[in-house]
Amino acid sequence: MTEDFKSQVESRLDDLFHEDEESMDSMDRFGGVGDHPLKGLKAILLSIEWEITDSSMESLINELKTLEDFYKDDKLILTFLRLLNSIARYIKVRRGKAHPNATSLLTSVYNGLERVSLSEGMSRKEKENILLQEVDKFKKLKEEVIRRKKEQEEEETKQSAAVALEEAAGRLTEEPTQPDLSSMTTQELVLYALEEIKEVIREEFGALRAEMKAWRESR
Amino acid sequence: MAIINLKKGEVQAKIVYYGPGRGGKTTNLEYIYRKFHDRIKTEMVTIKTHGDRTLFFDFLPIEIGKIKGFDIRIQLYTVPGQVKYDATRRLVLRGVDGVVFVADSLAVRRKENILSLKNLADNLATYKKSLFDVPMVLQYNKRDLQEEGIPLLSLEALEKDLNTRLKAPSFEASALKGPNVVQTMKRIIVMTIDSLRRDLT
């Protein structure tokens, strides 16, 4: 391999990756929010760390509040901002446990808002369509969050029922230690039987509670 | 370690995109894949985690084709940037032939850039390599955010923090929008292939 080899690699790369390349000079072609009122919101959204902190989410919610006042007469923009607010509050509360799509929905709703706010000549109908798409995504996420929560609770119920069963099974296997009933006095037998009945009643109530909980959640 | 089979005339090199979390490593590969998918004719493999972050790594193979009888294949990898995935980063670095260090230009990420470069040096050291042994290109990403009025580190500050001793080629770029993404990749590929050529001669 020689220097010629290097130049041939360069030439092949130029062939493979030509025309679509963009230099930094082309950067000024990119639109931006400039001095638009959304500038602060975009800056916060872009600066939010992967580790979502209370302060970054607080800044986001405060900025949204300011913008809601600013756009109080524009119902369309206001709806975008309220969607963002709901998602931001959800993420703030749930943090690491928030649904994985929540942060991407935050970005998606913002992008919709930016398109609607910055696109000159966009008809009201087009703007409403963009908003409706984001509202749909929001509804889907909400349903997904509720579904996941329900699944989690069901899983917990199942797990606690399984633990109860295991404990019961454990007791049963441990209880070949059943006492020699024939050697018991009548009084001892009654006391033993009472304990057994109490244990059965406890287990029955436990199972009933679990069943009622599952039934309530399925409604 | 590159796979060089002189008999079969094959050269396969491994290039790793390294840098702090959320710096744009995956976005670099996604941009390349999106723009040139039809030409490179390979698939990008990516495994994401909760919150859309890279869990293990991203992988994008590129077939450069035959040059002087050698079939050149490049494998682009990214590492997960978050601090807690150090073991994965170390594994991905095994056998690396070239590195693109993707620095985050956001002013608030200055410390993370420096720590990530140090982490790269530490992890290379486990393979008995140093930052100076491996072909490297620095990319100062997210420069497009300047227009949004978001506080960014100046190029001088980035060079001072990361490149004073390395003196590696550096590009300001926007992985999201494209400027200098391809230039960065082309530069590291050429440097890596050239380094392999020098090792062989």
Whether B70 is in a domain gets the answer yes
User: How many structural domains comprise chain B?
Assistant: 1
Q: Which of B150, B173, B193 sits opposite A6 (nearest CB)?
A: B193
Whether B201 is in a domain gets the answer no
How high is the pLDDT of residue A46? 75
SS3 B55: strand
How high is the pLDDT of residue A2? 62
Q: Which of B36, B49, B147 sits opposite A16 (nearest CB)?
A: B36
Q: Is A9 on the interface with B (CB under 8 A)?
A: yes
Whether B106 is in a domain gets the answer yes
Mutation for testing the A interface, residue in B84, B147, B172, B200 having most A CBs under 10 Å: B147
Q: Where are chain A's structural domains?
A: 34-150, 153-218
Whether B24 is in a domain gets the answer yes
**Cα angle at B127 between B121 and B130, to 5 degrees?**
35
Q: Is B183 on the interface with A (CB under 8 A)?
A: yes
Whether B49 is in a domain gets the answer yes
Cα A99 to chain centroid, rounded: 1
Q: Is B12 on the interface with A (CB under 8 A)?
A: no
Query: What gap in Å lies between CA B81 and CA B67, rounded to an integer?
Result: 34
Q: Mind listing the pLDDT tens digit for each residue in A52-103?
A: 777 888 888 999 998 998 888 899 999 999 999 999 999 888 877 788 788 8
How high is the pLDDT of residue B86? 84
Burial class (CB in 10 A: 0-12, 13-18, 19+), A85: middle
Q: How many of the other CB atoms lie within 10 Å of CB of A192?
A: 14
Which residues of A fall within a CB distance of 8 Å from B180?
22-24
- Is A110 in contact with A70 (CB distance < 8 Å)? no
SS3 A8: helix
Query: Structural domain of residue B166, as residue ranges?
Result: 3-196
Q: Grade residue A23 by pLDDT with cuts at 50, 70 and 90.
A: very low
Contact B145 A49 (CB under 8 A): no
With a cut of 80, say whether residue A196 has pLDDT above it: no
Element (H, E) at B141: strand B136-141
Query: CATH code at B48?
Result: 3.40.50.300
Q: Which of B53, B145, B194 sits opposite A50 (nearest CB)?
A: B53
Q: Mind listing the pLDDT tens digit for each residue in B70-106?
A: 889 999 999 888 777 788 888 889 999 999 999 999 9
How high is the pLDDT of residue A193? 72
Q: Mind listing the pLDDT tens digit for each residue in B25-75?
A: 999 999 999 889 888 878 888 776 555 566 667 899 999 988 878 889 999
Q: Is B106 on the interface with A (CB under 8 A)?
A: yes
